[in-house]
Amino acid sequence: MITDSSAARRARLAGMTASAAAMVVLVSACGGTGGGSASPAKNFSYLSVTENTTVKTALTTLSKGACKTAQDAQPLKVETVPQASLDQKLQLLAGQNALPVQFAAGNAPALTQQLAGSGQVADLEKELKKLGVYDQLEPAAVSTIKALYGGKLDVLPYEYNIEGIFYNKKVFAANGIAVPGTWAELTSAAAKLKAKGIQPFSASGQQGWPLTRLISGYLYRSLGPDALKDVADGKAKLTDPKYVKAAAEVAALGKKGYFGKGVGSIDYDTAMNQFLSGKAAMLYMGSWALANIADPKQDTVGAANVGFMPFPAVTGGTGSIDQYPSNVGLGIALGAKSFDKNTGDWVSCITKNYGSTALKDQGAISGFKVNADVKDASEVAGQVRQTISSSKQNVLWFEALFSTKATTVSQTNAAGLVNGSLSPEKFMQTVQDALSSK
Amino acid sequence: MHRVLGDRKAVLILLGPALLVYSLIMLVPMVWSLGYSFTKGNTIQGFTGNGLGNFHRLFTDPAVREALWFTAKYAVVVTLGQVVAGYLLALLYVFFLKKASALVRTLVFFPVVLPTVAVGLLFQKFFQVAPQTGPVNSLLNAVGIGSIDWFGSAGHAFWVLIIMDIWRSMGFYAVLLFAGLVDIPEEVLESARLDGASGLRLVRHIVLPMSFPVLLSSLIFSINGTLKAFDSIVALTNGGPGNATTPLTLYMFQTSFTYGDYGYGSTIALLLTVVCLLVTLVVFRVSRRDLTKG
């Protein structure tokens, strides 16, 4: 009798515990998905990366001037994360349905495409046409975005950049170095500088991409503009000897000490600073650096002493020196679910005014039309702007068509390639493996 | 007391809340994660079944092998370092500094209360080579050795990590073991001394056997902590250079949250769980046998 009743009680208690547990699970599960954006966004929230100050500054300027009305209806609120953790943050926010109104697109375009595929990113071609401001975008910028994002306008071109090598004119002149036109000339110029005790290049190995850009630069010159598309399409492998050659050339620069000491610990700001304070003669960078070059506080070399050259040709290669790597810098996407009238007002104001504001205040070039007369801040800024408007064919960068994983693997291993702890073969093999693992 | 614990309702009321919270934040996610390891995808794309695909990948992925090897290497070296350094410090407190050990104990314990990220940054600056030469390299330069790029090669980065982790936690183990040593009855030590045992012989034959149980607990603590090390590595090297200092925990984190592959990430988590379980079982077996003796 006693055993019976206690068994029954046990069963009842077990049942109660189980159902209580189930209830809590259900309630917490419901709570998890409730954080969506059913109600209109109070703020024009913008998630950006810490490294980029151009967009943040220009948007703040606009919020006080041309876009005051939009600002009053939906105040701008900027939040930043380090670029290296951006992809992670976006994935977590997207998983919780909590993406901000406007956010820097992930380091790998593949991630933004994923977000777009799940309906989290606004189709900007449609929205801008609806707002009647689609013609405010530069066609070159639109085509670059479409090349990156599978034919869709997923991001706004807050920046439109070409990349190349900035050099210190004074140092070049003092050492009798002409602007190198070929890779061989570049390496001999570097050797000359190094012999004189001047660090030839400054590059951030911590970011990695300033190093892998050199590999892609070499590949585009030696194998032509389709070099990396062939890898993405599976027609070629990074481990093919002609691809490994590019990594070997870049590794050789590191082996000779052209990037200075401890390249793996150099962060973006330090690399920029080394060049702008005259400690290094050359810097591979995108034209967004014009904002830093125009700032006399950072640029002690002086904007007039900075020159810009395209990535040099590789003798016998099929690529051409005027195919500039181009990108939309930090592409910025808008959340699909929070895109309402207030956001539309902001976007339409930005497309009309951002181009001239960014250029006038910071010397930064965007993919928006410049609707006011702005004098170029410096000779180098004018040169870059001219190059952009006259360029016919552009190329992408090393990781542009890679998955998030391959992008990370490539950028975190780049310093190892340059400091000799990873052979060119092993580096390309590692990246290729990451690319092939699905 | 017995009557209270004999009543099932009372037991349930006492245990229920804790059990519920434990189930919700430990067991449910674990089972959930186990479920994920049979899928592919992430919260953006949604999940699709992947059968045993992730497990097949786990056994063929060279990065897993490297991470597992690093985890093992790191756990063994740091555990030994922490416990040995802690034990030596404890001996120092008890037999050498005696009553005056409070200040030294506090100083050595201090790094334990510092946030890991701060310690990571401290060591980064300590060992840095560029843009400024850090103190360690300056010291090397002063004695005529060239600067070393400590975070540029796998070997160097590993040792900096080891030094940092031992420095960071030896104070904790020193205090833990100190408590064990203080517990050894003075009479036993006294009679050993009367019998002529002193110095190393005293430690070897009296102190070590008598503090063995607490030494073993320290080992269990330490090995379990180091197998799951994450924060100190992220703060110091973030797994680099390349993936040379990436343990399983970090690889799992990157796979799930950076590469957006929750399924495979969960599979790696499962591997980590199994490894921890095996190590704990082995340690438990060993400890049970020796505890009866000690």
ipTM over cut 0.90: no
Beta-carbon contacts of A295 under 8 Å, excluding residues fewer than 6 positions away, are: A362
| The two structure tokens encoding residue B181 | 């040593």
Q: Coil, strand, or helix at residue A107?
A: coil
Nearest-CA distance from A156 to chain B in Å?
A: 21
Residue A137 falls in which region: left (phi positive, over 0), alpha (psi -120 to 50) or beta:
beta
Nearest to B45 by CA among A402, A94, A105: A94
The DSSP symbol for A301 reads S
> Is A24 an interface residue toward B (CB < 8 Å)?
yes
A interface mutation test: which of B14, B31, B44 has the most A CBs within 10 A? B44
Please identify which residue in the block is written with the tokens 């030839």.
A200
Q: Say how many Å lie between the first and final Cα of chain B, rounded.
A: 32
Nearest to A43 by CA among A305, A257, A346, A363: A346
Residue-level pLDDT at B291: 46
Q: What is the pTM of this model?
A: 0.81
Please identify which residue in the block is written with the tokens 């092939």.
A436
Please identify which residue in the block is written with the tokens 């005790």.
A197
H runs (alpha helix) in A39-157: 54-64, 68-73, 86-95, 109-117, 124-131, 139-148
Domains in chain A: ranges and CATH? 44-160+328-370 (3.40.190.10), 162-325+396-436 (3.40.190.10)
b/e B171-208 (16+ beta carbons within 10 angstroms → b)? bbbbbbbbebbeeeeeeebeebeeeebeeeebeeebbe
> Is A412 an interface residue toward B (CB < 8 Å)?
yes
Beta-carbon contacts of A353 under 8 Å, excluding residues fewer than 6 positions away, are: A62, A65, A66, A67, A371
The answer to whether A326 and A399 have CB atoms below 8 angstroms apart is no
Residue ranges of chain B that CATH labels 1.10.3720.10: 52-293
- Dihedral sign from CA coordinates of A105, A111, A113, A115: negative
B interface mutation test: which of A421, A426, A438 has the most B CBs within 10 A? A421
Taking contacts as CB-CB distances below 8 angstroms, the residues of chain A near B44 are 91, 94-95, 114-115, 118, 120
Q: Say how many Å lie between the first and final Cα of chain A, rounded.
A: 61
For every one of its 294 residues, what pLDDT tens digit does chain B have, with 9 covering 90 and above? 566 677 888 888 889 999 999 999 999 999 999 999 999 888 888 888 888 999 999 999 888 999 999 999 999 999 999 999 999 999 999 888 877 888 989 999 999 999 999 999 999 999 998 788 899 999 999 999 888 889 888 889 999 999 999 999 999 999 999 999 988 888 888 888 888 877 788 888 888 888 888 888 898 889 888 998 999 999 999 888 888 899 999 999 999 888 888 999 999 999 999 998 898 888 778 777 554 454
Q: Which of B8, B45, B242 sits opposite A114 (nearest CB)?
A: B45
Tens digit of each residue's pLDDT (9 = 90 or more) over A100-109: 999 999 888 8
Tens digit of each residue's pLDDT (9 = 90 or more) over A403-433: 888 998 999 999 999 998 899 999 999 999 9
The answer to whether A162 and A388 have CB atoms below 8 angstroms apart is yes
Domain B52-293: state its class: mainly alpha
Q: How far apart are CA A127 and CA A227, in angstroms?
A: 34
HEC string of B99-163?
A: HHHHHHHHHHHHHHHCCHHHHHHHHHHHHCCCCCCCHHHHHHHHCCCCCCCCCCCHHHHHHHHHH
Taking contacts as CB-CB distances below 8 angstroms, the residues of chain B near A273 are 131
Residue-level pLDDT at A193: 95
Q: How far apart are CA B87 and CA A279, in angstroms?
A: 49
Nearest to A435 by CA among A193, A302, A238: A238
Q: Which of A273, A274, A421 sits opposite B153 (nearest CB)?
A: A421
- The per-residue pLDDT of chain A, averaged, comes to 87
> Is A415 an interface residue toward B (CB < 8 Å)?
yes
Q: How far is CA A405 from the centre of its chain?
A: 15
Q: How far apart are CA B117 and CA B122, in angstroms?
A: 8
- Residue window 368-407, chain A: list those with CB within 8 Å of chain B: 403-405
* Low-confidence spans in chain A with pLDDT less than 50: 1-5, 13-14, 16-37
Nearest-CA distance from B277 to chain A in Å?
A: 26
Q: How far apart are CA B195 and CA B197, in angstroms?
A: 6
Q: Which of B12, B46, B239 sits opposite A13 (nearest CB)?
A: B12
- Dihedral sign from CA coordinates of A32, A37, A38, A42: positive
H runs (alpha helix) in A158-289: 169-174, 183-195, 209-223, 227-232, 241-255, 268-276
Nearest CA in chain B to A436: B61
Nearest to A413 by CA among B282, B291, B63, B93: B63
Nearest to B96 by CA among B202, B238, B196: B202
Q: Coil, strand, or helix at residue A298?
A: coil
Residue-level pLDDT at B95: 85
Nearest-CA distance from B23 to chain A in Å?
A: 8
Nearest-CA distance from A388 to chain B in Å?
A: 33
